[in-house]
Structure 1
């Protein structure tokens, strides 16, 4: 299928394969090491460069990915950092494929109705302030990855980011925009305002320098003392004291009780490839597999562009309806793995007409903040080396700057991942997603996520690592990149540049990028889709093994935004 995509995207594809876009090193979002034996792609050039530098010092893909994750906590702290959580999918050089769950955890004092006021969920409580945060898992998960197969020591991959935080960096347009958009909530917390706002509580503009000396000190303490500093030492104690003084539930004991979980990856097949995805509490692995299984029931190559987009949208709608009902932390609720079974996909495919939309089975469409839905929250890191290590890490603090809380003296932004629970059955979170009791709040439970780190294999060997940022659009981005790259044999940079759509069942809208040709938009409307045109959506990163070489690919939409 040939799809016309916008000129602004196609012009940027040159250079998204590890080549330098310009002489300025700040343009290097996706890089290959000088010897060609390793590659990294991230959402920020500072993080990518630090990761490559780690490779040159003898590190492998695991070391590089960890270094990038800590660096992103400095330069991309509105999306991710050590105050949040992550999912790590890794293929080790010895052939093991592991899923490391570093998702945030609800505090021991959390209760089912903690955000319900006068019989109704209060979204502000789960999104801003002390109650919004879960126990961060990223430090523990990254340390686990390091111990599993890194060549370097944990301190070696942390300290470069500490140096960056102390010296400072130039604020990107994307970061400046996010600071400006959240300045009122950041101003509520003095330690947050001290970092991101000036003395008059005005947001720092793009290209001004941002230094984070407290965060640098925290990184150095972790480098010296290990994760114990974070989970049992001064950081945990400072956080516990702040929470007690500000109406929070988290205690230093909650930090000490945090545990990384080793999960069994979701395995599926599509277009002759084997896919490994992340299991619950991620919904990504299940529903990426489910959507692709549904698509595989149709002769995709014979469909006109509008028919194919229609089919993708319908498959997404069925998958997200299942997500709302069935998905949650599998340690607390039974999640039917048959959702990712081809036989189940066949039953759904029988309900889909290529001529019109399927009647919506939703039981209501709560109001949703569309801007929240499409913002590029979260971040993804792809790293690989020719020794056979492949890493896909998706990391997040949830919405922009998470809870907006920085614990004084630490520089660490705490997540607002409690909003990813179902505060009340049928109540939408910041991304418009609804859930059932399967994702209800409970002590020490992990909230449902859309993060979808994915590894792709051909004939038993890894050929791709990918993932995305963008709330629930993570799932739809990964699905579409895989569809175009695997079924249509597009190079990943071209697959990633195709106009994207997103349908999450609730709200019952088909989000369509403005780059989609008008005639296809009109054809989709005729089939019954209620279109919401959006400039761009999402931010993906990937590495593809092509012609025996590692090809890293960074999101063209992000590079364009930061170049403006």
Structure 2
């Protein structure tokens, strides 16, 4: 989610005004994406969240990370995107030393990385995860960031980077010797999808907990509402006098109930009505105790 091909949320505290704003930069589905895209036609049931489901062009959403960065920089930043990208350009160009975490994560995904010519060439060394202590460089990423630093986000959303992304999504570069054991489905992303992408600014969630103001990301994120509801439930208990076992029990039960409501009610407000005000009300929390 950290790269420009991904997406995410951003919560921003504005020190001069003491206000909190949020930016929704999550990926969106292509305009022509069908609702049954991940339903197995043989069984009529959802395809499990496994390599078959996520290793394809069909699993790629319209990226929002770069739009999020640009929105934050344009609205609230004190430095240009060009300047902000320079450290990342340097690391991509000069490389970094592989540590155990990078090695292990690459090794765990090596079977998927071998499927595509591009990911095999970038992430693997002789078809294996690079050894700890070796240096990994990504000059193409450096060039990509340099183009964005020069031309702005339009290089992705209306330019050559986006065209290359769409080409890879619609025509996944499957290696000739790849044998994944399942079909690599092409995706539906278009340059029109990229050009229409927006990262909107949204109101944050807000609850108070023992005199503290707790802000979070609202829907389509589930984080702010789930944390807020959990804290509202816990606010009704004196955890300072409870023994450790009881305090943990209260915490686990509060989060369990909040997660149950998360799974039942939270979704993308463009498509579902989320009862956010009710979920974060103290009265609703009291009903759960």
Q: TM-score, normalised by structure 2?
A: 0.91
Task: For 2:133 and 2:2, locate their aligned partners in 1 and report how far apart those are by CA, in whole Å.
Answer: 20
Could you list the runs of 5+ residues in structure 2 that have no partner in the other structure? 173-185
SS of the counterpart of 1:286?
A: helix
Match in the other structure for 1:93: 15
Contact 2:60–2:169 (CA<8 Å) still a contact in 1? no
Deviation digits for residues 130-179 of structure 1, max 9, x if unmatched?
A: 11111110101101111112222110101221111010011121111100
Contact 1:125–1:132 (CA<8 Å) still a contact in 2? no
Task: For 1:216 and 1:251, locate their aligned partners in 2 and report how far apart those are by CA, in whole Å.
Answer: 24
Task: For 2:218 and 2:170, locate their aligned partners in 1 and report how far apart those are by CA, in whole Å.
Answer: 34
Aligned with residue 98 of structure 2, among 142, 156, 171: 171
Aligned with residue 109 of structure 1, among 21, 32, 37: 32
Task: Considering fraction of residues, name the structure with more helix.
Answer: 2
Deviation digits for residues 72-100 of structure 1, max 9, x if unmatched?
A: xxxxxxx6211111211112233132111
Match in the other structure for 2:45: 120
SS of the counterpart of 1:87?
A: strand
Residue 248 in structure 1 maps to residue 182 in structure 2: no
Residue 190 in structure 1 maps to residue 112 in structure 2: no
Aligned with residue 58 of structure 2, among 110, 131, 153: 131
Shift of 1:125: 4.3
Task: For 1:245 and 1:100, locate their aligned partners in 2 and report how far apart those are by CA, in whole Å.
Answer: 31
Moved more, 314-323 or 237-246: 237-246
Q: Which protein has greater RCO, CA pairs closer than 8 Å, 6+ apart?
A: 1
Contact 1:239–1:251 (CA<8 Å) still a contact in 2? no
Could you list the runs of 5+ residues in structure 1 that have no partner in the other structure? 1-78, 350-564
Residue 303 in structure 1 maps to residue 242 in structure 2: yes
Deviation digits for residues 341-400 of structure 1, max 9, x if unmatched?
A: 111000001xxxxxxxxxxxxxxxxxxxxxxxxxxxxxxxxxxxxxxxxxxxxxxxxxxx
Deviation digits for residues 257-287 of structure 1, max 9, x if unmatched?
A: 1101111111100011111111001100001
Match in the other structure for 1:180: 107
Deviation digits for residues 460-510 of structure 1, max 9, x if unmatched?
A: xxxxxxxxxxxxxxxxxxxxxxxxxxxxxxxxxxxxxxxxxxxxxxxxxxx
Contact 1:155–1:224 (CA<8 Å) still a contact in 2? yes
Task: For 2:232 and 2:80, locate their aligned partners in 1 and report how far apart those are by CA, in whole Å.
Answer: 41
SS of the counterpart of 2:143?
A: helix
Residue 341 in structure 1 maps to residue 281 in structure 2: yes
Shift of 1:126: 3.2
Aligned with residue 161 of structure 1, among 85, 88, 113: 88
Task: For 1:273 and 1:330, locate their aligned partners in 2 and report how far apart those are by CA, in whole Å.
Answer: 28
Match in the other structure for 1:148: 75
Q: TM-score, normalised by structure 1?
A: 0.47
Question: How do residues 163-562 of structure 1 correspond to structure 2 at under 5 angstroms?
Answer: 163-198=90-125, 200-246=126-172, 247-337=186-276, 338-349=278-289
Match in the other structure for 1:521: none
RMSD of aligned residue pairs (Cα, Å):
1.2
**Where do 4+ consecutive residues of structure 1 move more than 4 Å?**
none
Contact 2:57–2:171 (CA<8 Å) still a contact in 1? no
Residue 82 in structure 1 maps to residue 20 in structure 2: no
Match in the other structure for 2:180: none
Task: Considering fraction of residues, name the structure with more strand.
Answer: 1
